[in-house]
Structure 1
Amino acid sequence: MSEEFKIEIVNPEKSFLSKEDVTEVVVPAFEGEMGILKDHISIISFLKPGIIKIFSKSGEDNYYVEDGIVEFKNNNLSVLTSSIFNIKDIDKDKISELLTQAEENSKNSDITDQNKYLVDQKIDVLKTLN
């Protein structure tokens, strides 16, 4: 019996990724890191800044995501996000640029508690990549 399911990641520009041989995905949900396997209960959740880890027969892929929505239903995982990068393709300059921008946003005195939480999460994740 197959333990695989399908994932599709879509951003505003295009269908970013579509794979059919996925065995596990770990997403940075607001509730915490969430592991998804075949036949997982149906869910819809919001994503916070973090790393999406995709395990498949072809290996492991890691993607940095800033926000989005994840839905799992009938062994199909859909991720809708406005910003996603393959970690192996992103260069250190881009990470440094994103980190500097996030640190500046964090210092804004008008920032809401929710946005402060998201910016701090983004900073923590980017520091691990830098």
Structure 2
Amino acid sequence: MANTMQFDLVSPEKRLASLEATQVQIPAAEGDMTAMPDHAPVITTLRPGMVKVTGADGSETSYAVTGGFAEINAEAMSVLAEHASEGAEGKVALEGFLEDARGRAADASGDTRDVAEKLVADLEQLLEAMV
């Protein structure tokens, strides 16, 4: 059993991380999950939330993501985020996403409104977690 796995986090703007990790927690669409070395292969979508990485040296780093995908296997995990930022650096951008999401939720109807309101709630929770 390996002690670490390769972790990569990229967004359309830039690569935010590429390091050896002992575990990575992600906000998967089905619920939060933790990936560790020798994890079974999985591809999952992400909801807005925090990606928490424990490095090989024991250091912990958090990244805010607005959504995206994660691919996990025994040796590595790659997160392809719609938008991502380390720590509080992206708070202003996330507040802009939240305002846009609120406007879209107000204009939506039926199932689309339910999905939009869930996105608003997830973004609000993410911003609260960043404080």
Same fold (TM > 0.5) = yes
Query: Which residue of structure 2 lines up, in the alignment, with residue 120 of structure 1?
Result: 121
State TM-score, norm by structure 1.
0.83
Q: Distance in 2 between matches of 1:47 and 1:121?
A: 11
Shift of the alpha carbon at 1:14? 2.8
Q: Distance in 2 between matches of 1:89 and 1:83?
A: 12
Shift of the alpha carbon at 1:44? 0.4
Structure 2: runs of 5+ lacking an equivalent: none
| 1:29 matches 2:25 | no
Q: Distance in 1 between matches of 2:89 and 2:18?
A: 17
Query: Which residue of structure 1 lines up, in the alignment, with residue 86 of structure 2?
Result: 86
Shift of the alpha carbon at 1:114? 2.2
Question: Which string of whole-angstrom CA distances, capped at 9 and with x for unpartnered residues, describes residues 17-40 of structure 1?
Answer: 1002x0110000011000111101
**Contact 2:25-2:32 at 8 Å conserved across structures:** yes
Shift of the alpha carbon at 1:96? 4.5
Shift of the alpha carbon at 1:58? 4.8
Query: Which residue of structure 1 lines up, in the alignment, with residue 4 of structure 2?
Result: 4
Structure 1: runs of 5+ lacking an equivalent: none
Shift of the alpha carbon at 1:94? 4.9
Shift of the alpha carbon at 1:100? 4.0
Shift of the alpha carbon at 1:12? 1.4
Q: Distance in 2 between matches of 1:23 and 1:10?
A: 19
**Contact 2:2-2:38 at 8 Å conserved across structures:** no
In structure 2, relative to structure 1, the CA distance for the partners of 1:98 and 1:127 (3 Å cut) is farther
Q: What is the total number of aligned residue pairs between the two structures?
A: 128
**Contact 1:28-1:47 at 8 Å conserved across structures:** yes
In structure 2, relative to structure 1, the CA distance for the partners of 1:14 and 1:127 (3 Å cut) is closer
Name the SS of the counterpart of 1:107 in structure 2. Answer: helix
**Contact 2:46-2:70 at 8 Å conserved across structures:** yes
Deviating 4+ runs (over 2 angstroms): 13-16, 88-91, 93-111, 113-116, 127-130
Query: Which residue of structure 2 lines up, in the alignment, with residue 43 of structure 1?
Result: 42
Aligned-pair identity in percent equals: 28
CA RMSD of aligned residues (A): 2.2
Shift of the alpha carbon at 1:102? 3.9
